[in-house]
Chain A
Amino acid sequence: MNRNMNAAKALVLAGTVLLSACSNNSNASSPSPAPAENSEGMKLEILAGNVGGKTPEGNTQFAQALSEKTGLEVTLDKPASDYDQKVLTALSSGAKYDLIEVSDLAKLNALIDQGVVTDLTGFVQDSKILSDPSVIPTGEWEQLKGPDGKIYGVFSKFQGATMPIVRKDWLNKLGLQEPKTLDELYTVLKAFKEKDPDGNGQADTYGLSTAGLYDIQGIMSAAGLKYRYVLDNGKRTLPYATDAAIPMYEWFAKLVKEGIMDPNFITNDTAKMRNLFLTDRVGMVTYWDAWVGMFNNLKQQEDAATTFQAAGMAGLQAADGTILMRRGDPDFWIIPANAPHPEAAKKFLEFWNTEDGITLGSLGVEGYDYALDNGKYTLTDTGKEANMDHGVPYWYNTTVKPKFPALPGVEDAMALSREYATLELSLPTWPDAEKIVTNYALKAMAGQMPAGEAVEQMQKELKAANLID
C-alpha cells in the first residue's frame, strides 16, 4: 500500500513538474526591461518575417554573417509561413526575443496597447546614427510613434508606395499618352482591350487588373478619395464610403461590364495579378513601385530582346489638381518588453542602418550571395535568385549608394512615390470597417449592386456599428 502511495505521489509530482514546465511564468511575461549590459559576445535573438536568407541554408549563412559583423551571437528565427501567428504565439507564450520585425502600423498600436514594446525615444534621439537625418529623415519617425508620442520602433527598410503600373511599350505601340484623367484612363484601357496590343491577333487582353480593393488608390485619386480613415474636424470619415465614391464605383462597373477589367479582380491574389501582367494578358495593374523594376528585370532576364516595358504612373489628378497615392506601412523592428538583451538589440539597430548593415540586408552574404573583387561586386546565382533583397531592397540612408544600378524604371516610380504618396490612417476600428467597405465596394465595382445602393448600405452599417461619426 505504502509503495502504491509513493508511486502515486511520484506521479503527481511528475505531472506538476511537467505542467509547470508548460506554464507561462508570470515573471517571463513581466514588461520590465532587462538592465543594460555590455553587448560584446552577447546573444541576440531575432524573430523576422522578411530579413534573412531565402532558404534555411541562406538563413544560417545570414545569421553567421550578422554575428561576425556585429560581434553578437545571433540567432535568427525566420518562419517559412504564418508569421503573424508565430509572433503572437511567441509573445503570448512568454518566448523571449530581442528583436521582432513588424510590418503593420495597426499591429504596432495593438502591441503598444498590449504592453509588448519598449519605448525607444531616448535611444533614437541619443543615437548618432539613427538621429542623423541623412540616415533616416527626421519626419519619418512620426510613423513609428504611439498615441503617446513616443517612438516604439526602428525602420528596417524604406517602404515605397503602390501605383498604377502601365505597359509603356503598349502605349507607344498604340500611339497613346500616359493617362492623367479618368477619361484618358478609360480610353487607354479600352484600347488595351480592343486593339490587340500584344499583336497575337486574338482578343485576349484586359485593360486593367487589380487584386481586390487594396491598391486602387491611384485611380480613386481622380475623385480625391483617400483609403481608410480621414479625420474631418475630429470626426471619423471613410472617403470610400461617401457619396463622392459612387461615380468611381460606377466607372469600375462600366469597365467590368465592357470586359475591359479582368473579371477575376475580386478573387485575384497579387501573384495572379502579376502573372497576368507578365504574360501579356493585361496592360495595367496597381502594385508596388519596386515591382516596376522587378517586372522589367524579370522579362529582360527571360529574353534580353524583350520589348516589355513597365512604367509607374502617378495617381490620377482630382478636380482640384491633387494627386493621392498610397504609402505602404513601414517594416520596422521592435524590442519586446521582455527582451533579454536589449542593449544587443540596440547595437544591431544602429548597425542595420550603416553601410555594412544595408549591404547585408540588400545584397546578402559576401561569398554566398555576392563576391567582392577589387571593389567590384558580382552576384552569385544564389544572390541573383534573392534579387538583392534580404529584407532591405531599398533604404533610407542617403549616404549609402547602391552597389548595382537600379532596376529599370524603379527610380522614376519611386520618385513619384516620394512626391505624392502619403500614409493611411488606421484607427483601431479599421478592421471592422474594412469588412463593410470592401464588401460593398467590390459588389458595386463588379456591377452586382448599384453603386448608390452599395454606398448607402455601407454608410448604414458603418454608422450602426459606430465605425464612423
Chain B
Amino acid sequence: MRLIRKNSILYIMMLPVILYFIIFAYYPLAKGLQTSFQEYKLMGERPYIGLDNYRQVIHDPTFWDALWNTLYIGGGILLAGFLAPLFIALSLNEVMKSWFKRTAQLVLYVPHLLSWVVIGGIFIFLLSPDSGLVNLLLVRVFGIQPVNFMADEAWARNIMIVSAVWKDMGYNCILFLAGIAGISPTLYEAARMDGATRWQQVRYVTLPQLMNTMKVILLLNTLGIFRIFDQIFVMRNPAIAGKVDVLMMYTFQKGIMEIRIGPAAAASFFVVLFTLVLASVVRKTTRFDEV
C-alpha cells in the first residue's frame, strides 16, 4: 500500500489508459460474449439461449470453409511475409551505397501506407485478362492465353497472399533492418578476424543476433492472421468467394448483411479463441518470454 501511495502519481497517470481499454476493449468484449449467449434482437427481449449460437456456427459448413481459407491465406502471409522481408533486409544490409539503401527502403515502404482499396484496385487492374500488365506479358512475350487470375479459384488464395506480402514487406523489412543496425560491429570484426566469409557472417552473426526481432515480428504477424478482412472485402468476387472468404468475412456477413447478431458474436468468439491458441503456441515454440 505504501508503495502505491509512494507512486500514486504514476498510477493516476495510468488511469486514462486503463479507462480507455476498459471502455473500448474489455467492455465491448464482455458485451459481445453476453450477446453470443442470447437470441439477440436489435430491439425488445433478448432471451439467453445457452450455447445455441455456438452450435449453429459449428454446424455451418461455410464456417469451416472460412476457417480453412483463413489458415491457408493467413499461414501463407505469415510464412512469406516473414521470409521475404528478412531476405530483402539481409540483401539491403549488404548494399554499400546508402542512397540506394534509403531509396529501396522508401520504395518498399510506400505500399504499406496505401489502403486496401488502392492496393486491391492496383492488383485487379494489373491482373485484368484484357488490359492488365501481367496478361499483356503472358500474351506478347510468352505467347500464351490470358489468364483471368481474379476470377479463377486456382489462383485466388495465392493472389491474396502475394498482395498482402507485397503491401507489408517494407514495414517488416524496416523492423529487420533496425534489428540489424543494433548488432554490435565488434561481432562482425571478430568474425572477420576468424576468417568468416560474408555468408558465414550472416549465418553465424546476423541471424542469431536477429532472433529476438524475428520472434516479435512472428508473434505480431501471427496475431494478425485471424484479423484479415479489408483485403478480402475489397478483392473478393462471387466466383472466388468460396476460396477466399475468411472468418472475419463470415462474421461480417452474418452480423451486418444477414442481421444475425447472435451467431456473428459466437463466430467472433471463435476467432478470439483461435487467436489465443495460436499466439500461445507461437510463444511457447519460439520461447518468446526469453526475448
User: Which A residues have a C-beta under 8 Å from some C-beta of B?
Assistant: 1, 4, 15, 18-19, 22, 24, 29-31, 84-85, 88, 91-92, 107, 110-111, 113-116, 212-213, 262-264, 266-267, 336-338, 431-432, 435, 438-439, 442-443, 446, 448, 465
* Residues of chain B with a CB closer than 8 A to A465's CB: 61
Contact of B237 among A22, A111, A212, A263 (CB under 8 A): A212
**Are A92 and B150 closer than 8 Å at their CB atoms?**
no
Contact of A446 among B23, B151, B255 (CB under 8 A): B151
**Are B1 and A4 closer than 8 Å at their CB atoms?**
yes
Considering the complex, which residues of chain B in the window 135-184 have a beta carbon less than 8 Å from any beta carbon of chain A?
146, 148, 150-152
The reply on B129 being an interface residue by CB < 8 A is yes
**Are A15 and B238 closer than 8 Å at their CB atoms?**
no
* Residues of chain A with a CB closer than 8 A to B31's CB: 24
User: Which B residues have a C-beta under 8 Å from some C-beta of A?
Assistant: 1, 4-5, 19, 22-23, 27, 31, 41-44, 61-62, 124, 128-130, 146, 148, 150-152, 237-239, 241-242, 253, 255-259, 261
Nearest chain A CB to B87 CB, angstrom units: 31
| Distance of A88 Cα from B251 Cα, bound (Å) | 14
**Are B257 and A264 closer than 8 Å at their CB atoms?**
no
The residue of chain A having its C-beta at the shortest distance from the C-beta of B30 within the complex is A19
**Are B258 and A116 closer than 8 Å at their CB atoms?**
no
Nearest chain B CB to A113 CB, angstrom units: 8
| Distance of A18 Cα from B19 Cα, bound (Å) | 9
The residue of chain A having its C-beta at the shortest distance from the C-beta of B255 within the complex is A88
The residue of chain A having its C-beta at the shortest distance from the C-beta of B253 within the complex is A431
Given known A-B contacts A267-B150, A336-B43, A110 and B258 have beta carbons under 8 A apart: yes
| Distance of A19 Cα from B19 Cα, bound (Å) | 10
Could you list some 9 contacts between A and B, CB below 8 A?
A: A1-B1, A19-B23, A24-B31, A85-B256, A110-B259, A266-B238, A435-B241, A442-B237, A446-B151
**Are B256 and A114 closer than 8 Å at their CB atoms?**
no
Contact of A263 among B148, B239, B242, B258 (CB under 8 A): B148
**Are B44 and A115 closer than 8 Å at their CB atoms?**
yes
* Residues of chain B with a CB closer than 8 A to A431's CB: 253, 257-258
**Are A267 and B151 closer than 8 Å at their CB atoms?**
yes
**Are A114 and B41 closer than 8 Å at their CB atoms?**
yes
Seed contacts A435-B238, A442-B237; 7 additional CB < 8 Å A-B pairs:
A29-B43, A88-B255, A111-B42, A262-B130, A264-B128, A267-B150, A446-B151
**Are B42 and A439 closer than 8 Å at their CB atoms?**
no
The residue of chain B having its C-beta at the shortest distance from the C-beta of A263 within the complex is B129
| Distance of A262 Cα from B148 Cα, bound (Å) | 12
* Residues of chain A with a CB closer than 8 A to B128's CB: 263-264, 267
The residue of chain B having its C-beta at the shortest distance from the C-beta of A443 within the complex is B239
Nearest chain A CB to B149 CB, angstrom units: 10
Given known A-B contacts A92-B261, A266-B238, A116 and B43 have beta carbons under 8 A apart: yes
**Are B238 and A111 closer than 8 Å at their CB atoms?**
no
Nearest chain B CB to A451 CB, angstrom units: 14
| Distance of A448 Cα from B151 Cα, bound (Å) | 9
**Are A448 and B152 closer than 8 Å at their CB atoms?**
yes
Nearest chain A CB to B49 CB, angstrom units: 15
Nearest chain B CB to A216 CB, angstrom units: 13
**Are A442 and B151 closer than 8 Å at their CB atoms?**
yes
The residue of chain A having its C-beta at the shortest distance from the C-beta of B132 within the complex is A264
* Residues of chain B with a CB closer than 8 A to A116's CB: 42-43
| Distance of A262 Cα from B146 Cα, bound (Å) | 13
| Distance of A446 Cα from B124 Cα, bound (Å) | 17
**Are B259 and A111 closer than 8 Å at their CB atoms?**
yes
Residue of A85, A113, A116, A263 most packed against chain B (CB within 10 A): A263
Nearest chain B CB to A343 CB, angstrom units: 19
Contact of B42 among A92, A262, A267 (CB under 8 A): A92
* Residues of chain B with a CB closer than 8 A to A438's CB: 238-239, 241
The residue of chain A having its C-beta at the shortest distance from the C-beta of B238 within the complex is A438
* Residues of chain A with a CB closer than 8 A to B238's CB: 212-213, 266, 435, 438-439, 442
| Distance of A1 Cα from B19 Cα, bound (Å) | 24
| Distance of A212 Cα from B253 Cα, bound (Å) | 19
* Residues of chain B with a CB closer than 8 A to A262's CB: 130
Residue of B27, B146, B151 most packed against chain A (CB within 10 A): B151
Given known A-B contacts A30-B43, A111-B42, A267-B124, A22 and B241 have beta carbons under 8 A apart: no
| Distance of A30 Cα from B62 Cα, bound (Å) | 34
| Distance of A432 Cα from B241 Cα, bound (Å) | 12
| Distance of A462 Cα from B4 Cα, bound (Å) | 64
Given known A-B contacts A114-B41, A114-B43, A438-B238, A22 and B23 have beta carbons under 8 A apart: yes
| Distance of A137 Cα from B1 Cα, bound (Å) | 76
**Are A22 and B151 closer than 8 Å at their CB atoms?**
no
**Are B259 and A114 closer than 8 Å at their CB atoms?**
yes
**Are B44 and A18 closer than 8 Å at their CB atoms?**
no
Contact of B22 among A4, A15, A435 (CB under 8 A): A15
The residue of chain A having its C-beta at the shortest distance from the C-beta of B151 within the complex is A266
| Distance of A1 Cα from B5 Cα, bound (Å) | 10
Nearest chain A CB to B127 CB, angstrom units: 9
| Distance of A92 Cα from B1 Cα, bound (Å) | 43
| Distance of A111 Cα from B260 Cα, bound (Å) | 11
* Residues of chain B with a CB closer than 8 A to A446's CB: 148, 151, 239
| Distance of A118 Cα from B148 Cα, bound (Å) | 48
| Distance of A15 Cα from B22 Cα, bound (Å) | 9
**Are B242 and A115 closer than 8 Å at their CB atoms?**
no
Nearest chain A CB to B250 CB, angstrom units: 11
**Are A114 and B237 closer than 8 Å at their CB atoms?**
no
* Residues of chain A with a CB closer than 8 A to B27's CB: 19, 22
* Residues of chain B with a CB closer than 8 A to A212's CB: 237-238
Nearest chain A CB to B189 CB, angstrom units: 55
| Distance of A442 Cα from B153 Cα, bound (Å) | 12
The residue of chain B having its C-beta at the shortest distance from the C-beta of A94 within the complex is B43
* Residues of chain A with a CB closer than 8 A to B129's CB: 263-264
